[in-house]
Structure 1
Amino acid sequence: MSDSDGGWHYAGEANVSSEGRVSLPERLFEESILHPDQVAYWSYEIGVGFLLVSNQPLKRDIYKTQKNSDIGDAPGYRTTIPKKFFSASLNPQKASGFIV
């Protein structure tokens, strides 16, 4: 799935621990979108409510972005979603998708 205006593509889904830990899809690394030794940026899309991960800050006004550089090595590529993206109404047990 892609958003022709935003340039994003669906990359997969994963379970999120109660601490916000998640394994990023290997596709993000196979296609050189993310690298364990570089910063990953997490953004919240205000209109729809998607949580996005990217290799650079998303600059449009519809995104709230925070960087997080804690990506583990393969296998697993585990990282922690920044706490600011969790609220009492959000169930962190399932990430509906990774958008890049």
Structure 2
Amino acid sequence: FADFCLAPKNDVEPVQQQWHSTMLAWMALQGQERGPATALEQSWNVQFWPDKKNTTGRKMSALTKADKVWTVEEISTQSVTVQGLGALEWLLYD
């Protein structure tokens, strides 16, 4: 993703294909989490789902409208709704 963002010309299709492959791999595991609560909580960082109230969309919209360049560290302190596959989906398709 970093290479895509830094490229002078951006063809989003390869990144969308990679996202799709990653999502398919995650779907095979989703809902099968086992182990300590802290490990189970990590699944929310991969994908906040189900998102019945479009929380990801609302929060991503607010982040992208902010007049700032977000760092990895800053995003990591935000809600899980702006991290992981759902946030990437919003950026790539909405």
Normalised by the length of structure 2, the TM-score is 0.25
More strand by share: 1
More helix by share: 2
Give the number of the structure whose alpha-carbon radius of gyration is greater: 2
Normalised by the length of structure 1, the TM-score is 0.24
